[in-house]
Amino acid sequence: MSKKIAVGIDVGTYQIKVVVAEGVGSDDKEFPSVLGTGSAESKGLRHGYIINSTDVVKCLRQALSQAEKNSGLKISRAFLSVGGIGLESAVSTGSVMVSRGDSEIDELDINKLHEVCEKEIPAGAILNRKIIHSVPLQYKLDGRLVLGNNPVGLRGNKLECKILFITCLEHHLHNLIEAVDEAGVEVIDVMASPMAASLVTLSKSQKIAGCALANIGAETLTLAVFDENKPRSLEVFPVGSTNITNDIALGFKIALDEAEHLKIGGITSFNYPRKKFEDIIEARLEDMFELVEAHLKKIGQAHLLPAGVVMTGGGANIASIEEVAKKTLALPARVAVIHTGDPSKSPFKDSSWSVAYGLCIWGLSADDSGSIKANKIVKIIKDKILKFVKQFLP
């Protein structure tokens, strides 16, 4: 069997992470082995979007160089995650009449229906945005729900569909792909960060029962809600673990680096009242989970997720986070563990590596009905960039 290599790049506001993984054969269902990892402090980003591309490229090269050294491989192509406040989701519905004379539904009908649904997205929800995932939530044929969510081969007259579209800001995606290109790596395809993280932190049974994945980054909290093994909603809030650091610094009137050290449980010479410290952290965490609760109410899923909320990202390492989440959301809550096949040999210290490793899983996996499909948009993006540059050439 031939060996396959995949590289995942997660460009976060706090850190850039790179994972190099190896799979064997197209039918291999085991988790791929990690050949090497690399990370670097992230500079030049704010809330997940690029504000200084030169700094981002420099940090990317540092992380890639470390991953190449650890894996012994030259990295030339990779899968890239897209996150930050630029991510959004929108649900759209549409219908078409079955085109064939014998009323049998084929792929042409499905493609036409998806195009209709895309056109039905509200103008304000798609302006300056690029669709990166299209997830059919349900089909109806002549008013009846299609079981199995695959109407191809069935017969009827009117086909309807509800689709979840996950989008990101187009200019942010342009800048991100350009930065990775400038760092010497070709982007194969892009995936929304929470979708990548879900591949290695959530089980199929959790997604079927209903659960929420809360990725707590440095400056953003990304919430992805799953039900019936499909993502139902995605929301990004402009608040993260950095806000906790700021609260600690203000509460104790100490420097930010000392407050960060205190937050993650480091030993410090600073004497502080433990109760006040816990109250500061709990108050900010409650604010975060109240945003989550409000969104769950908005989509009709509050207190209705049997598999509860699973927390990932660097901010999920705070000691009291599980208890605060349980109390605020009235749901089961736990910190995510990255599924690598053998927990005792996992190369990851915490769940902050879930996005980069999830990208490798996605890149190595064969297409199946349970996977999250992304739209092949990298070539389109690059063509637009080239067209833009050419207008200035003699």
DSSP letter for each residue of 356-382: HHHHHHHHHSPP-TTSPPB---HHHHH
Are 10 and 25 in contact, with CB atoms under 8 Å apart? no
Looking at residue 379, its pLDDT comes to 52
Q: What is the DSSP letter of 239?
A: -
- Residuewise pLDDT in 10s, the chain (394 residues): 457 899 999 999 889 999 999 986 544 456 788 999 999 999 998 888 889 999 999 999 999 999 999 999 999 999 999 998 889 999 999 999 998 889 999 999 999 999 999 999 998 889 999 999 999 999 999 999 998 889 999 999 999 999 999 999 999 999 999 999 999 999 999 999 999 999 999 999 999 999 999 999 889 999 999 999 999 999 999 999 999 999 999 999 998 988 888 887 766 767 788 899 999 999 999 999 999 999 999 999 999 999 999 999 888 888 889 999 999 999 999 999 998 877 667 788 888 999 999 999 999 885 443 345 555 555 544 554 444 344 334 4
Count of CB atoms within 10 A of residue 367's CB? 8
Q: Give the torsion sign (CA, 174, 180, 185, 191).
A: negative
Are 324 and 317 in contact, with CB atoms under 8 Å apart? no
Helix (H/G/I), strand (E/B), else coil: 104: strand
Looking at residue 357, its pLDDT comes to 95
Helix (H/G/I), strand (E/B), else coil: 154: coil
Q: What are phi and psi of 19, to 5 degrees?
A: -125, 135
Burial class (CB in 10 A: 0-12, 13-18, 19+), 244: buried
Tokens of 201: 């932190």
Q: What is the DSSP letter of 14?
A: S
Count of CB atoms within 10 A of residue 393's CB? 5
Tokens of 196: 């990548």
Which of 360, 123, 329 is CA-nearest to residue 223?
Answer: 329
Count of CB atoms within 10 A of residue 376's CB? 10
- For 120-255, where are the alpha helices, taking DSSP H only? 123-126, 170-182, 193-201, 204-209, 241-252
Alpha carbons 378 and 81: distance in angstroms, whole number: 12
Tokens of 325: 């989440």
Tokens of 247: 């609260």
- For 202-320, where are the alpha helices, taking DSSP H only? 204-209, 241-252, 256-263, 274-298
Are 200 and 270 in contact, with CB atoms under 8 Å apart? no
Specify the pTM. Answer: 0.87
E strands within the chain?
A: 3-11, 15-24, 33-41, 45-46, 49-50, 77-82, 88-97, 129-141, 144-145, 158-169, 186-192, 211-216, 221-227, 230-237, 309-312, 333-335
Region label for 328, one of left (φ > 0), alpha (ψ between -120 and 50) or beta (otherwise) = alpha
Alpha carbons 174 and 384: distance in angstroms, whole number: 9
Alpha carbons 122 and 203: distance in angstroms, whole number: 33
Strands 77-82 and 3-11: parallel
